[in-house]
Amino acid sequence: MKIDVLTLFPGMFVGPLDESIIKRARASGALDLTIYNLRDYTHDRHRTVDDRPFGGGPGMLLKPEPIFEAVEHLADAATRVIMMTPAGRQFNQAVARELSQFSHVLLVCGSYEGVDERVREALVHDELSIGDYVLTNGALPAMVVVDAVVRLLPGVLGDEASAEEESFSRGLLEYPQYTRPAEFRGMKVPEILLSGHHAEIARWREEQARLRTAQRRPQLMGGAVDSRKNEQSS
């Protein structure tokens, strides 16, 4: 998969995307990731990317010219152009899985007070937000999107079941997990996990995932998928 990021702050991406799973995905060739500086698509001596909004108001807006030039240079017919903005639809696991199906994604990072509306009208296929709060710019949200999407690519996690078992994959939070020792400071691992009865363990995990979701994130329950029903119908 190819992911390009267009940003005013390419230095923010140094480090977070050079470690762990992202680093391995890049090294293996599963991910082709490039960070582009929006100022490289300007042509004046000051490398101007912003200007005052028509009609007045606080702050500055990103100008359309450099964004249009950058997107037209980097994108083709197969590219999914996405702008990171607080006004976008909420990013979640389902959206991450949706994006992982594209061969090329171009993330445009907003900044300042916003972006000239003509960018939205003519260039952008989708807009995403990682939450109902305002950040300094779209760099951190873009990193979140890259991380969530890349771990869904085939072969990136090594164990394909890992992505399926994680929180939100079925509309549920992940069930409690334990490892050795079986008893630590008087706290014991549930006996069912030591029983070796895989069907019973699966049933316990499903029940625990539903209980945890109902307690902590009840709004997710409407979209939860019951794996036991899937097994019975398959």
Distances (CA, A) of 143 to 58, 113, 130, 184: 28, 20, 10, 37
Q: pLDDT tens digits, residue range 106-144?
A: 999 999 889 999 999 999 999 999 999 989 999 999 999
CATH superfamily of 167-233: tRNA(m1g37)methyltransferase, domain 2 (1.10.1270.20)
Which residues belong to CATH 1.10.1270.20 in the chain? 167-233
Element (H, E) at 187: strand 187-188
Q: Which pLDDT score, from 0 to 100, does residue 233 have?
A: 42
| Among 87, 43, 69, CA closest to 123 | 69
Q: pLDDT tens digits, residue range 187-228?
A: 999 999 999 999 999 999 999 999 999 999 999 887 665 554
Q: Which pLDDT score, from 0 to 100, does residue 168 have?
A: 65
Which residues belong to CATH 3.40.1280.10 in the chain? 2-150
Local structure of residue 13 (DSSP, 8 states): G
Predicted TM-score (pTM) of this structure: 0.84
CA distance from start to end of the chain = 31
User: Is the pLDDT reported for residue 57 higher than 50?
Assistant: yes
Q: Sorting pLDDT into bands at 50, 70 and 90, what band is 35?
A: very high
Q: Could you identify the residue written with the tokens 């939205």?
A: 120
**CATH-assigned architecture of domain 2-150:** 3-Layer(aba) Sandwich (3.40)
Distances (CA, A) of 75 to 99, 146, 217: 16, 17, 38
Q: pLDDT tens digits, residue range 149-196?
A: 999 999 999 766 565 656 566 789 999 999 999 999 999 999 999 999
Element (H, E) at 89: strand 79-90
Q: Which pLDDT score, from 0 to 100, does residue 43 have?
A: 96
| Among 46, 116, 34, 41, CA closest to 73 | 41
Cβ contact 125:82 at 8 Å: yes
